[in-house]
Chain A
Amino acid sequence: MKIRLENVVKTFETFRAVRDVSLEIESGELVALLGPSGSGKTTILRMVAGLEYADGGHIYFGDQDATDIPVRDRGVGFVFQHYALFPHMTVAENIAFGMKVSKVKREKAAIEARVVELLRLVRLEGLGGRFPAQISGGQRQRVALARALSVDPKVLLLDEPFGALDANVRHDLRRWLREIHRELGITTIFVTHDQEEALDLADRVVILKDGHIIQQGTAEEVCRNPQSTFVMKFLGDANVLAAEVRDGRAYASGAAIDVSGMADGKAELYARPADLDWSAQGPGIPASITRVLDRPDGRRVLATTETGELLEFDVEPERPVKAGEGGFVTLRRAKVFAV
């Protein structure tokens, strides 16, 4: 099912949560709405679901205007942030609920068969008789997904699906959700504030800020070509250096980079930690190490330049660096934004 949002607006009392958002989601696409809290991402998801009504604009499901269709008739599967499993029902009863209350009458045996099938899909065979309080967070998340899928929704909507889980469980579930999506091919939108989750999982990432869409595209597009300092900063750690553009080159305390086509003037230079190198001899930006953080995949170095700017970069795990050491930072690549 293709979904189209047209100039959608939503205001809560005086807070303008969503301002004039237009967005198209192709049938079978897996899209992430990514943004900090208050960016309107959850509100957009809830409006697509029909849990909130838009104050202005239209939402189309295929060719049908779904703007005013109530949630129970909209045919969406919604997975809530904290799962919202019915605590007094067993796992199997939770999954069967949608089929039992449906206007389409089903045979009892057919419902049971479908519950077994869904339990197998979410790999919870044999746990149908447990209550939600008796299973782990990751298992609850999968029950919530099975329950949402039980009504054969046209669209699957997930609100911060992995927000409340441990890092390890989160990683596995992410991969698993991707598999399920490939298997079912259902149009899926999920909301997250975790860039890594959005980039790993989605076909397309829609980045939101203050109720606006700031940028959208594949993970590659938004990572390689961020169009604003906000996107640059939000997608991951970034070092910022004051710079000046002259004759197609940006100069920042001891480093220079080619920016042909950019107008002369003041600018900011952004570089990822992996875009910086550290060497004992110049040329480069003179800096001294203030702290070394050891991580499983390398060493993160925090350094201060002579002009007092803070830099973060990574070196190989076996590289002997110590706090207090001086040296030079060189730029492998960077993004320059005019200010």
Chain B
Amino acid sequence: MRRNVLPGLRLSLGVTLFYVGLIVVLPLAALVFKAASLGPEDYWRIVSSSRALASYRVTVLSALGATVFNLFFGLALAWVLTRYRFPGWRIVDAMVDLPFALPTAVAGIALTALFTTNGWFGSILADLGIKVAYTPLGIMIAMCFTSLPFIVRTVQPVLEDLDPALEEAAQSLGGSDWQIFRKVILPLLTPALLAGVSLSFARSLGEFGAIIFIAGNQPMSTEITALLVFIRLEEYDYQAAAAIASVLLIAAFVMLALTNWMQSRALRYTVRG
């Protein structure tokens, strides 16, 4: 091994690897092991049951919707927080982290109270014929709430570090504001946006506490996958729970791999050679 000026590599590497193994890899391995003990036919029967399929559908679609919404809203919020200073800026900036800090069950109860047909928002929306609580829309809103900080907090530092001279250069070359945003700023934000999207989506897939209160949890329509896993656990059917959970795990992995690949493509230009 090459001699290193910094001391303590072996010790710190050992400690961190042990920790990662104990806290991250071992539980995941146990999950896979448990699911694998079912045998292929049983596994397939459980993960492809119509109730499970319906739960994947509502979970994935709601997570996609929430992520797309957060992509736009989170970018706008990050933009405003980096580009402008206004009274109360500090408060708004701090509030972005609130969904992280708040117990998700608290958020779920608050959202449910707001969006039931006699809640503040719910009653207004009910007049317009829109029902939020106990529908997939409610699930989406809960997911939006809990995953918002991911996009804001990944994009914000990149926006802050963006050299203002780049925009000035584009202006002096005759670019319009929209052209500059689309051709200069957005491509430079893409890696951060992708990172935020993948985290936001993964979080939405696994969200539980904030959703179960507002979702209504009707099997086949508003039952999310995480809840189905919980129900199987309650029934002491650990193998079925592990099988369904493994589907979530695979989905999250695929999503992470996909965005990593897209990110490395978007960052092609930084490679020296």
Contacts and interface: CB of A to CB of B under 8 A. Distances in A.
A337 interface: no
A134 interface: yes
A88 B168 contact: no
Contact of B269 (A50, A98, A133, A150): A133
A102 interface: yes
B269 A87 contact: yes
B143 to A, nearest CB: 31
A321 B170 CA distance: 57
Q: Count chain A CB atoms within 10 A of each CB in B169, B183, B188 and give the residue with the most.
A: B169
Contacts of A133: 269-272
B173 A80 contact: no
B8 interface: no
B21 interface: no
A78 B171 CA distance: 10
Nearest to B190: A88
A327 B103 CA distance: 85
A83 to B, nearest CB: 8
A103 B169 contact: no
B174 interface: yes
A78 B172 contact: yes
A271 to B, nearest CB: 42
Interface in B136-189: 163, 165-166, 168-176, 179, 183-184, 187-188
B99 to A, nearest CB: 31
A80 B269 contact: no
B172 A86 contact: no
Contacts of B170: 86, 97, 101
A73 B171 CA distance: 9
A270 B90 CA distance: 56
Contacts of B270: 87, 131, 133
Interface size on A, as a range, is: 20 to 34
Interface string B243-273: 0000000000000000000000000111111
Nearest to B165: A84
Q: Count chain B CB atoms within 10 A of each CB in A98, A101, A147 and give the residue with the most.
A: A101
Contacts of A151: 173-174
A275 B269 CA distance: 54
B163 A82 contact: yes
Contact of A72 (B175, B269, B271, B273): B175
Contacts of A84: 163, 165-166, 168-169
A71 B165 contact: no
A85 B269 CA distance: 12
A238 B85 CA distance: 48
A151 B173 CA distance: 7
Contacts of A87: 188, 269-270
Interface string A103-138: 100000000000000000000000000011110000
Given A71-B168, A86-B166, A134 B173 contact: no
Interface in A23-56: 49-51
A72 B176 contact: yes
A49 B183 contact: no
Contacts of B183: 97, 101
Nearest to B179: A101
Nearest to B167: A84
Interface string A144-164: 000110110000000000000
A243 interface: no
Given A78-B168, A80-B168, A82-B163, A102 B174 contact: yes
A49 B166 contact: no
Contacts of B187: 88
Contacts of B166: 84, 86
A332 to B, nearest CB: 47
Contacts of B269: 87-89, 131-133
A59 to B, nearest CB: 15
Contacts of A74: 172
A93 to B, nearest CB: 9
A148 B272 CA distance: 24
B272 A134 contact: yes
B4 to A, nearest CB: 27
Interface string A232-274: 0000000000000000000000000000000000000000000
A150 B173 contact: yes
A80 B171 CA distance: 13
Given A80-B168, A97-B183, A147 B271 contact: no
A77 interface: yes
Q: Count chain A CB atoms within 10 A of each CB in B172, B175, B269 and give the residue with the most.
A: B172
B80 to A, nearest CB: 23
A77 B172 contact: yes
User: Which 3 residue pairs across A and B have the least CB separation, nearest first?
Assistant: A98-B173, A84-B165, A84-B169
11 contacts: A71-B172, A72-B172, A80-B165, A81-B165, A84-B166, A86-B184, A87-B269, A97-B173, A101-B174, A131-B268, A134-B273
Given A88-B269, A101-B173, 13 more contacts: A51-B171, A72-B174, A73-B174, A80-B165, A85-B169, A87-B188, A97-B170, A98-B175, A102-B174, A131-B268, A131-B270, A133-B270, A133-B272
Interface of A: 49-51, 70-74, 76-78, 80-82, 84-89, 97-98, 101-103, 131-134, 147-148, 150-151
